[in-house]
Structure 1
Amino acid sequence: MQLSPNEHNNFSLSRFESMLKTNNVYFFDSEEFENIIQYYLENGKIALAKKATKLGLEQHPTATNLKLFQVEMHIFENELDTAEALLDDLYVLERFNDEVYIQKANIYSRRDEHSKAIQLLEQALEITSDEADVLSLIGMEYLFLEDFENAKYYFMKCLEQDESDYSALYNIVYCFDYLEEHEAAIDYLNDFLNKNPYCEVAWHQVGKQYYTLKDYQKALAAYDFAIISDDQFIGAYLEKGKVLERLKRYEDAIESYSITLGLDDPTSFALLRIGKCYEKLGKDELALQFYTKCVEEDALLDKGWIAITDYYFRKKNYQKALYYIDKAIHIDSENVLYWKRYAKINNHLNLYEEAEQGYRRALELGNYEQDTWLTRCDILIHLGEFKAAITNLFQAIEFYSESAEIEYRLAGLFFATNEERKGIFHLRNALKYDAEYIIVLEELFPSVYENARVQEIIAQHKNPSV
């Protein structure tokens, strides 16, 4: 009885693995080795693929395809010079083998020599029997060069070869998006849909273009067509929900998001959005239920923890808000959004040392917004930590060199620490940048504001001729 191709491949694989276990040497023809290597590569078993390649070449030292697999292994391990030397030898014997050009192009691509890679791929295109694959590779090289017009052209050629190649379709739309050619993208997708009217992916992409253009009614219609084409298409239901939220049709949005929960395992995104919709509808208990489900589903999704924290903060239940943001920080202590909320909540609870720690961590993690520097400074002033406040503001000046709010605070701090000369310098800077912000000095340092020398400088600024 003759074995089917799959049965034959499984038999070869079993024999090969048996050979590895027993150290017996079995003979395989080169095609069997190719199938075994391909299987291991597709399943991420690189060590076994290398072993099969080595044994294959020992039995079939002149087999071109096995040598190409060997090249692929070297490229995978970034041994580019070795791979290139093997390809140079192969090129002498296999001038009309497209895979030689493709692998050589792969090496150039790894070296960021994308223009050279494109030249080789264009040569491969002239001799290949699989034009779609090579066109896609050329498109990717143009993407690396950020030449989106040419990338788009080659992905379009690729899609002409195979209209079911949704990877090419996504790349075409990506190019349109990058070029901000949303109307052109819609025209292209509509032309594609005229030939493929039930392509749910194309309808989905049309919807996303209309969403970007804020034409929500047309986006909604496109997502409905995507769902008609494939009623199991989770992405279309999620995007439809987003549109319905924009239209403030929260009940309908909840229905759309909820459908996805029955099609597959619940996604944290859908649970979060359902919670947001319930909150907009004033159904607080249901909102909290879904926020809780969201963080249970994905504890690393910061938007879930932030949604619960912000909910309690808006309700002025600062203790509950602090409880949840503490939990979030224990899960991810490097999240700047958590630390900013931690600081803000503690500030409202008059826990100033904890608030200062929160703003300090936010700054350490790269949140350089001026408000973060200023609020931390004001807390340090409240704590009497004037030197730390000054250091904080000088760090802020590196990012906001002409900020009146920073200069008034520095003026107040230097006057308060009896460094009048420095205080005068920063007060004059502040008045020059924005005189109206003098209220900062008046509120934070009332005694400094009343200082006779300070009042004299303010008067001089108002009436320079006096």
Structure 2
Amino acid sequence: MEFSHNDNDNLPLTKFESMLKTNNVLFFDSEEFENIIHHYLNQGKIALAKKAIKLGLEQHPSSINLKLFKVEVYVFEDKLVEADTLLNELYSLDPTNEEIFIQKANIFSKKDDHKKAIEVLKQALELTDDVVDLYSLIGMEYLFLDNFEEAKTYFMKCLEADLEDYSALYNVVYCFEFLNQTEDAISYLNIFLDKNPYCEVAWHQLGKQYFHLKKYKKALAAFDFAIISDDSFIGAYLERGKVLEKLKRYNEAIENYNITLKLDDPTSFALLRIGHCFEKLHKYDLAIQYFERTVHEDPLLDKGWIAITRFYKKKGNYQKALYYINKAINIDTENVVYWKLYAQINMRLKFYEEAERGYKRTLELGNYELNTWLSRADILIKIGEFEAAIYNLDQAVEFYPENAEIEYRLAGLYFSLNEADKGTFHLKNALKFNEEFSFILEELFPEVANKIFVKNILKTNH
């Protein structure tokens, strides 16, 4: 039982807290103590729960339920040996108490012995008619073991016993998704909805499965039913908006996103999607308004900063794009996409040193795409940093061996440094890997490409 603030149920709690303040010892029956302890544990007030357990056991020293609360606190505090010892004592007193088995399983779970935890929980199943919680606990243990098939089975058992157990429903769908069983998930949800046709959560999950399969009209119908079942279900409006975007019905998508803004505080996701819809409708002033609201609402949402930067980049307003990407980087210096955009924008503005810094930072953060290595090399070549360019490309070779684009650049660099042997070696490699990329030499190193012996190598290999 949970205490309420507006009825007589909270009288034992008030009485208990008053006792703590005055040091007068008052009597409570064991059930009252159990409710008080349960309340404090739910509130996360462990110190008060421990006081209640101590006083409870002083007044009711033989209460198994109060001792089980003591076990629960031991487990919470990672005092597993003490918990185990007390459980063994309780088992000898009451070997058919399923709560003893649940706590025993909890200890095994804490020790990462999930198989043993499952074994113990299955024993507990035989001792009780109240199976829903046990099915859920077994399902969770199977999840810890990455055994999604068995987990799914037990969460389904929860739903067979209680159609309103939405937590189990989410877990069933999670298992289907992890196992890539989208069609099976759809079949299961449709059967579930036959029994529970006004379950907004099931309709919502069904819509997401259809969306995953790109069956947008069916997804839309499912989200419609979710909204009919609960017209204040924000998640359904958001998903419905996403489907309408896919169907290019941008005005209707905006309407759905706007409903979510009225139902609750604005979410950065909804604001961002509205911005993208207005952009698709070529209503650029409104698009930028919503992108700006997005980053104001949630400065940590990288998609907001990326959207606003790309918007100005596409419009060719590189100064504005640079302004926003700098703001983004000031908030999160570890975001690879920010640094890549920073490099691209600076490149457009012919700020080569800054562009090179951007690509270098992108690589430092673990973005090893070929284009990043090549773009950085091309800037270093442009600003005459040939040695740095070679070092950069040597690193790239480790990730992309036998790549013609890298080899032509290395050939050009070595020829430019008058290291003809190394230049020849790399040029022959490049031609062997792909002759068609030989234009790279002419574009980046026109003087090298015009040298007679380079022309001869190119002719010989054509």
TM-score (normalised: structure 2): 0.93
Structure 1 residue 198: Cα displacement? 1.2
- Write the mapping of 1:103-122 to structure 2, written as runs, cut at 5 A: 103-122=103-122
Q: 1:45 is aligned with what amino acid?
A: K
Q: Quick check: 1:168 aligned with 2:168?
A: yes
Structure 1 residue 326: Cα displacement? 1.2
- Write the mapping of 1:335-354 to structure 2, written as runs, cut at 5 A: 335-354=335-354
Structure 1 residue 11: Cα displacement? 3.0
Q: Is the 8 A contact 2:360 2:376 kept in 1?
A: yes
- Structure 1 residues 316, 12: closer, same or farther in 2, change over 3 A? same
User: Which deviations, in whole Å up to 9, do the C-alpha atoms of 1:347-385 show, x marking residues without a partner?
Assistant: 110111111111122222222211112111111222222
- What SS class does the counterpart of residue 40 from structure 1 fall into? helix
Point out where structure 2 has 5 or more consecutive residues left out of the alignment: none
The 2-side partners of 1:191 and 1:378 are apart by: 59
Q: What's 1:67 paired with?
A: 67
Q: What's 2:226 paired with?
A: 226
Q: Is the 8 A contact 1:9 1:32 kept in 2?
A: no
Point out where structure 1 has 5 or more consecutive residues left out of the alignment: none
The 1-side partners of 2:458 and 2:49 are apart by: 79
Q: Is the 8 A contact 2:105 2:118 kept in 1?
A: yes
The 2-side partners of 1:229 and 1:128 are apart by: 34
Structure 1 residue 19: Cα displacement? 4.1
User: Which deviations, in whole Å up to 9, do the C-alpha atoms of 1:94-145 show, x marking residues without a partner?
Assistant: 3211122212222222232222211111111111232011101111122222
Q: 2:326 is aligned with what amino acid?
A: D
The 1-side partners of 2:451 and 2:56 are apart by: 90
Matched-pair identity in %: 67
- Structure 1 residues 429, 111: closer, same or farther in 2, change over 3 A? farther
Greater mean deviation of Cα atoms: 277-286 or 369-378: 369-378
Q: Quick check: 1:193 aligned with 2:193?
A: yes
Q: What's 2:148 paired with?
A: 148
Q: Is the 8 A contact 1:404 1:434 kept in 2?
A: yes
Q: Is the 8 A contact 2:309 2:321 kept in 1?
A: yes
The 2-side partners of 1:359 and 1:48 are apart by: 55
Q: Is the 8 A contact 1:200 1:227 kept in 2?
A: yes
Q: 2:224 is aligned with what amino acid?
A: D
Q: What's 1:410 paired with?
A: 410
- Structure 1 residues 391, 68: closer, same or farther in 2, change over 3 A? farther
Q: Is the 8 A contact 1:9 1:35 kept in 2?
A: no
Structure 1 residue 285: Cα displacement? 0.8
Greater mean deviation of Cα atoms: 266-275 or 98-107: 98-107
- Structure 1 residues 317, 95: closer, same or farther in 2, change over 3 A? same
- Structure 1 residues 5, 268: closer, same or farther in 2, change over 3 A? closer
TM-score (normalised: structure 1): 0.92
Q: Quick check: 1:132 aligned with 2:132?
A: yes
- Structure 1 residues 129, 410: closer, same or farther in 2, change over 3 A? same
**Aligned CA-pair RMSD:** 2.2
Q: What's 2:181 paired with?
A: 181
Structure 1 residue 395: Cα displacement? 2.4
Q: What's 2:255 paired with?
A: 255
Structure 1 residue 18: Cα displacement? 3.7
- Write the mapping of 1:262-411 to structure 2, written as runs, cut at 5 A: 262-411=262-411
Structure 1 residue 23: Cα displacement? 4.7
Q: How many residues align?
A: 460
The 1-side partners of 2:110 and 2:394 are apart by: 44
The 2-side partners of 1:406 and 1:283 are apart by: 43
Structure 1 residue 419: Cα displacement? 3.3
Q: What's 1:83 paired with?
A: 83
Q: What's 1:204 paired with?
A: 204
The 1-side partners of 2:444 and 2:177 are apart by: 48
Q: Is the 8 A contact 2:343 2:358 kept in 1?
A: yes
User: Which deviations, in whole Å up to 9, do the C-alpha atoms of 1:20-65 show, x marking residues without a partner?
Assistant: 4455544443333322222122122233333433443444443322
- Structure 1 residues 53, 441: closer, same or farther in 2, change over 3 A? farther
- What SS class does the counterpart of residue 127 from structure 1 fall into? coil
Q: Quick check: 1:449 aligned with 2:455?
A: no
The 2-side partners of 1:69 and 1:456 are apart by: 87
- What SS class does the counterpart of residue 44 from structure 1 fall into? coil
The 2-side partners of 1:60 and 1:425 are apart by: 89
Structure 1 residue 191: Cα displacement? 1.2
Q: 2:180 is aligned with what amino acid?
A: E
Q: Is the 8 A contact 2:4 2:10 kept in 1?
A: no
Greater mean deviation of Cα atoms: 392-401 or 199-208: 392-401
- Structure 1 residues 200, 416: closer, same or farther in 2, change over 3 A? same
